[in-house]
Chains A and B, each alone.
Chain A
């Protein structure tokens, strides 16, 4: 506890305290907010049609990029960035369910993405001569397997760890990601660090009609990412408004109370965790079929941290936030790199140096908009209303009775961290 590092951070925290106190919670200007709300109402009036409209608008992006309508990101390069942003939105939405809705800290989220990708690769690739190969199934046939493998892994990791309180999940998931990397690096069938080449791209054949997705990212965006993103958005919206969503809120806010109400805590947590894992697995399938070559370096630990980054910066539990977060993490650094003409920016390569920049951005966002840039309404209130243990609402300053050492009580008291 009294290590110099710990003391340093304590000292730093104390120095930052007045800054945090004085920081105004930057509100959105009133006219902008009203416009925004009006727009939102109009948008919702479209009903289910709005998903179709959104899909249509999204589908227009690649052709417009061809014509150079976008600043900086255009042509095939722009479409590649679009593809990256697309699967990243999917990942952010999935992790948003785990972190934003259920309040679980998952630091190894990309492990499921890796599993989805590797499952796809192993089931479809034809392999180099002499190299192990498994079955040579069509790309589409691997989709359910990518989903199932990610799901099963989610249950296997979630069930034992989610029984424990506190931050065990964070540590276990972090370890799980690292273990998966090691396994893929050392396993014979995954071809170790050399990776799996020649993953076939998806194609559609109906009668004499034949369409191959090829290597260009646009068809992946049109036919895979747009439907997947729209479905994920619908899923998140439905979950958020459902009873299950309410139970997640209850667990997130006060686990003791939730269990006193009879909410099956472990079951609900595992459910959230598995929903996130399967989304990640599907994103992995899409990724593998587009890049056609994967190796362990495609899934560094940092990727898990970056997904978490886009969830938190964008706004916990909000869909707009997930999209914004994904754009900030994937598209903006690319654009900055392009602007700088491939040169470094103040000694930073924007894409690899984005980690350092995000660190700073994250701190600033957390100070001025603690719920993220586009926080969900409930999350916003959670950040400003005092919890039951903060002491603000208790009439007398009576000390909490401590029975004989139920240590987990102590955890639950401060358990609403972000």
Chain B
């Protein structure tokens, strides 16, 4: 059997002397949604930043389709097709919705204009609310719309692996539901997703497999369905007695 799409092998990340991630092993297969759940400060975002080479790792290996990411710069990681939707959405507030989406295609410098227009329509098809507001400034959108925009922008890069950092953060439950529907649809169209969430219930419902991270180490790993039934997970993350 060939190696999964993304392989993290004994990854450590330090902030100065503090070790935030202590030897994580994690894989994402083709076509999968894999979720990494855990509480505040467990090391979820740190892991993601290590993959996208924004910070770290200090030790270990991260391979994507056979290329070693630890040797690359963050923009080279993006060029490989690993696209991150950062926590807190980070849309460009004074660019219009359309301009935000065009920025997403940055990593595809040599793509023809016509091709981009088609992709733009595709994203508008997935997020009709963005099509309605294409001329509106990003900063004037609601939180949910901004999350849609951030995801749409990532899709413009034609990701081969999409990494979502806390897509549910700060959103009303109804909007969270919608966001996760879209995540499932993106995955069904063939994009593998690494999903980082505090909202374990939603994440595990959408994902195929899951990892639970605590204090920088993986404490559990299983099929998402199995984790949903796991006593430890139910107690710690799903708020059940």
Report A's interface with B, CB cutoff 8 A: 246-247, 249-250, 253-254, 256-265, 378, 381-382, 385-389, 393-396, 398, 400-407
Contacts and interface: CB of A to CB of B under 8 A. Distances in A.
A395 B175 contact: yes
B141 A253 contact: no
A249 B103 CA distance: 10
A241 to B, nearest CB: 13
Given A395-B170, A403-B45, A406-B49, A264 B90 contact: no
A256 B84 CA distance: 10
Contacts of A386: 93, 139
Nearest to A392: B139
Contact of B15 (A254, A396, A402, A404): A404
B87 A253 contact: no
B91 A254 contact: yes
Interface string B64-106: 0000000001110111000111111111111100010011101
B169 interface: yes
A381 B170 CA distance: 25
A153 to B, nearest CB: 25
Contact of B172 (A247, A385, A388, A396): A396
A393 B92 contact: no
A393 B143 contact: yes
Interface stretch (B36-44, B111-119, B180-188, B219-227): B36-44
28 contacts: A247-B106, A249-B94, A249-B95, A250-B92, A253-B93, A254-B90, A254-B93, A257-B90, A257-B91, A257-B92, A260-B83, A261-B103, A261-B106, A261-B153, A261-B157, A262-B74, A385-B93, A386-B139, A395-B144, A396-B170, A396-B171, A396-B172, A398-B169, A403-B46, A404-B216, A405-B18, A406-B46, A406-B49
Interface residues of B, number: 58
Contacts of B78: 260-262
Contact of A405 (B15, B83, B84): B15
Contact of B140 (A254, A259, A265, A385): A385
A263 B75 contact: yes
B166 interface: yes
A292 to B, nearest CB: 46
Nearest to B145: A393
A253 B92 contact: yes
Contacts of B157: 261-262
Given A261-B78, A394-B143, A395-B170, A385 B94 contact: yes
